[in-house]
Amino acid sequence: MKKYALIGHPLGHSMSPFIHKRLFEEAGRQAEYTLEDIPPESLKEKLPELLKSVTGLNVTIPHKVPVIDYVDKLDQSALRYNSVNCICGKDGVLTGYNTDCDGFLRSVPENALGGKVLLLGCGGVGRMMAIEAARHGADITMAIIPEAQDMADCLKREIGEKYPRISVKIVMMNEISGKFDLLVNATPVGMYPKFDACPVSEEVIGNCGAVFDAIYNPTKTKLVTLAESKGITAIGGMSMLVLQAVVAHEIWDGDSYTKEQIDKIINESVEIVNRDFK
C-alpha cells in the first residue's frame, strides 16, 4: 500500500487526512495518509527517512521553505513563491511543488482575475494571490492596515519587477472606493472564533462582482454571508483547501476527478468543519 503524509508543526486538528482519504476513495486507490508533527529542530533528522517511505508528501507551516533543501528540483509553481507544499518522488527524483496557487485559481470564478481585483491583506497567502492576479492581467488594489505598509510596498515592487505592465495600488482598509470584479480576502478577519467580524463594509462588498474568502472556519464567514445576501457570487476557503489537494493527487498519481466528485468532497468537508471545528 502506498503511503502519503502531511508534515508541519504544530499540526493540531487538520482536515487533510479526511480530504485525501476521500480523494483516494474516489480514485479507487488503497492508500495510507498520516500526520507527521515534526518540530523545526527535528526536520534534518526525520525528513530524509520519511521521504524514502512515502510516495507523496504535503508540507505546511513552518516547513514550506526549509524543505526546499531536501528536494532535487522545483516546479515553476514552487520557484515562483520559493515555497513548497507538495513533494513527489518519481524515478528517484524529488520535485517540490506549490499547489496552493492552483487551488486558488480553480476556486475563483472564471476570468475574474483578468479584471479589477481588490485584495484584502498582502502577507503569506495574500502575496500568492496578488502574484497570481498579476500573472492573469488583473488591475490590483491592495487594501491594508497601516502596520502592513512596508510589506505591501515590497510586494508592489516585486510585482512591478516581474509584471511591469500591471497596475498595483495600495490603500488603507478604510479608504477603499470604486467597483471591482473580484474581492479576495487574505486577512484573518472573520475567522473562528471572531466570526462576527467583517474586513470591509457592506458598501464595499456591494461594489464587487464576486467574492472569495480564504477562510474556511467558519465555512461561511460574515463576508461571504453578506455577499450572498446581495446576490453576489461568494466562495469560501474550503474550495481552495480541497482543490489544492486535488492537484497533489494529479501530481502524485495522475488521478483526475469530475466537478461532481470535487463538489461532493467540498460539501462533506464543510459539514465536518461545521460539526467538529468549534
List the catalytic residues.
Answer: 64
User: d(Cα 259, Cα 246) in Å, to the nearest integer?
Assistant: 11
DSSP alpha helix (H) spans, 82-169: 100-107, 125-135, 149-162
Is residue 260 classed exposed, middle or buried when 0-12, 13-18 and 19+ CB atoms within 10 A define those classes? Answer: exposed
Is residue 66 classed exposed, middle or buried when 0-12, 13-18 and 19+ CB atoms within 10 A define those classes? Answer: middle
CA angle 174–237–128, rounded 5-degree value = 70
Residues with Cβ within 8 Å of residue 252, at least 6 apart in sequence: 4, 55, 56, 88
User: d(Cα 58, Cα 229) in Å, to the nearest integer?
Assistant: 36
Residues with Cβ within 8 Å of residue 21, at least 6 apart in sequence: 33
User: d(Cα 250, Cα 79) in Å, to the nearest integer?
Assistant: 19
User: d(Cα 80, Cα 55) in Å, to the nearest integer?
Assistant: 24
31 touches 3 (CB < 8 A): yes
Label residues 143-181 b or e (16+ Cβ within 10 Å = b): bbbeebeebbeebbeebeeebeebebebeebeebeeebb
Cell of 138: 488583473
Cell of 9: 508543526
